[in-house]
Amino acid sequence: MVELKTSGEIEAIHAAGQVVAQILAAMREQASAGTRLRELDEAAREVLAKAGATSPFLGYQPAFAPVPFPAAICTSVNDAALHGIPGRYRLAEGDLLSVDCGAALDGWVADAATSFTIGPPSPADERLLGTAMTALREGIEAAVPGGRLGDISAAIGAAGRAGGYGICGDFGGHGVGRAMHEDPHIPNEGRRGRGLRLSAGLVLAIEPWFLAGGKDDYRIDRDGWTIRSADGSRAAHVEHTVAITGDGPLVLTALSVRVVIRAGHRDGSPAAAWRLVLAGTLFWRDLHAVVRAGTFTRRAPGDLHPVVRAGTFTRRAPGQAVTIGEHAVT
Ligand code: MG
Ligand code: MG
C-alpha cells in the first residue's frame, strides 16, 4: 500500500533525515587509510545516540537475509555494492567505500547513502561516482506530482547505461517513513510514463547503484548480506530520502547547512561547498541558487542563513563566494 504523508509527517521524516545526513558527513570525515569499518559503525551509533535516534538497520532481517543485520550502517568496499557488514577490515588508500545509513526518530525513518574514495579517486572511480550522483539528481528531479514512478526509474537507468555501467533490478529505491521499506519499490531502470502516478506527499528513498564492469550480475557473500559485482568490478551507491511536494522534490537527507554570505571574499569557500556536494549532502546548484536568491543577497554580508531546501533549483554558474557555517571545511 502506498501511503501519502502530511506536511507535518514530512517534517518529522526531515528531522530523522538530518540525523542520517550528520552520520554520512561524519563518515566522510572519519574514513581514512587505516580506519576499521567497525570504528565507522561505532561513530554512527554515537551520532544516533546523541540525537536520541535509533538505527532501523540494526537487527533488520528481510526475507533474503539468514541473520539479522548486526550494525547501524552498511559499509561496502570496492566490488561490494550493498549491505556490507562493518567488521575488522581496515580501509586502504584508493578504496571505494559506500556507506548506507538510516535513522529512526520519534517513530519516523529516513534512509540515505554516499560513496567516496579513500584519498583522491582514480579517473575511473571519479567517473563512476559522478555518474551515480548524476543519476540520483536526475531521479530526484523526476519526482514531481503528476509524473510517474517509471520517470524516476528511467532517469536513473538512462544515466547509468549512458556511463556503460551495470544495473541490477533486484534492489532499488522504495517508499520510506513509518518503516524503512515501504511501497512502492523503485527499480533503477524503467520506462517513462509508466507505473504509479506520483502525488504530493509521497516520500521515497531514491538510490541508484551501478557496477563499473558494465554487467548486471552480482553475488552474495557467505555472510548472507554483502552484495558484490559478479565480475569483481567496483560499485557505487548513493541515496537520498525525498518528499514529493507541490513545490517540487524536497531532499530530506541533505544536510541543512548554514551559509555565511561574504560578498567580495572568495577564499576557499567554493571548495568547501564542493566538499559537501561530493559528500552527497548538498547539490552545488542549490547552493548557488540560494546565494543568488534575492532574499539572501539583500541581507548584510556575514549573516547566517539556513539552507533547508534542495533539489528545486536550476543549475547555475558559480557566483558569489560563500562559506559553510556549521560544516566548515578549509
Ligand atoms: Mg539506504
Ligand atoms: Mg534505501
Q: Would the pLDDT of 214 be above 90? A: yes
Q: How far is the C-alpha of 191 from the C-alpha of 149, rounded, in Å? A: 9
| Distance in Å, CA 111 to ligand 1 centroid | 5
Q: What are phi and psi of 217, to 5 degrees?
A: -80, 145
| Closest ligand to Cα 238 | 1
Cα 207 to its chain centre, rounded Å, is 7
Q: How far is the C-alpha of 127 from the C-alpha of 120, rounded, in Å? A: 13
Number of neighbouring beta carbons within 10 Å of residue 47: 21
pTM score: 0.81
| Distance in Å, CA 239 to ligand 1 centroid | 6
Q: How confident is the model at residue 246 (pLDDT cuts 50, 70, 90)?
A: confident
| Distance in Å, CA 322 to ligand 2 centroid | 32
Q: What is the CA radius of gyration of the chain?
A: 19
Q: How far is the C-alpha of 208 from the C-alpha of 172, rounded, in Å? A: 7
Q: How confident is the model at residue 256 (pLDDT cuts 50, 70, 90)?
A: low
Pairing of strands 73-77, 96-105: antiparallel
Q: Would the pLDDT of 205 be above 60? A: yes
Query: How do residues 220-234 score in pLDDT, each as one tens digit?
Result: 999 999 999 999 999
8-22, 23-37, 261-275, 315-329 — which is least confidently predicted? 315-329
| Distance in Å, CA 207 to ligand 2 centroid | 6
Number of neighbouring beta carbons within 10 Å of residue 32: 12
Pairing of strands 258-261, 322-324: antiparallel
Q: How confident is the model at residue 287 (pLDDT cuts 50, 70, 90)?
A: very low
| Closest ligand to Cα 99 | 1
| Distance in Å, CA 174 to ligand 2 centroid | 6
| Distance in Å, CA 177 to ligand 2 centroid | 11
| Closest ligand to Cα 98 | 1
| Closest ligand to Cα 83 | 1
Query: How do residues 54-100 score in pLDDT, each as one tens digit?
Result: 999 999 999 989 999 999 999 999 999 999 999 999 999 999 999 99
Q: What percent of the chain shows pLDDT beyond 70?
A: 77
| Distance in Å, CA 261 to ligand 1 centroid | 33
| Distance in Å, CA 299 to ligand 1 centroid | 38
Domains of the chain as residue ranges with CATH: 7-251 (3.90.230.10), 257-329 (no CATH)
Q: How far is the C-alpha of 204 from the C-alpha of 222, rounded, in Å? A: 30
Left if phi > 0, otherwise alpha if psi is -120 to 50, otherwise beta: which for 127? alpha
Q: Is 81 helix (H, G, I), strand (E, B) or coil?
A: strand
What integer pLDDT is reported at residue 193 of this predicted model? 98
Q: At what angle do helices 149-162 and 123-141 cross, to 10 degrees?
A: 160
> Which residue's C-alpha cell is 549491505?
83
Query: Own/partner pairs for 119-123, CB < 8 Å, 24+ apart?
Result: 119/33, 119/93, 119/94, 121/96, 122/94
| Closest ligand to Cα 82 | 1
CA distances to 28, 40, 159, 207 from 136, in Å: 19, 24, 9, 7
Q: What percent of the chain shows pLDDT beyond 90?
A: 68
| Distance in Å, CA 321 to ligand 2 centroid | 34
Q: What are phi and psi of 80, to 5 degrees?
A: -80, 135
Q: How confident is the model at residue 285 (pLDDT cuts 50, 70, 90)?
A: very low
| Grid cell at residue 110 | 529516513
Q: Is 286 helix (H, G, I), strand (E, B) or coil?
A: helix
Q: Is 114 helix (H, G, I), strand (E, B) or coil?
A: strand
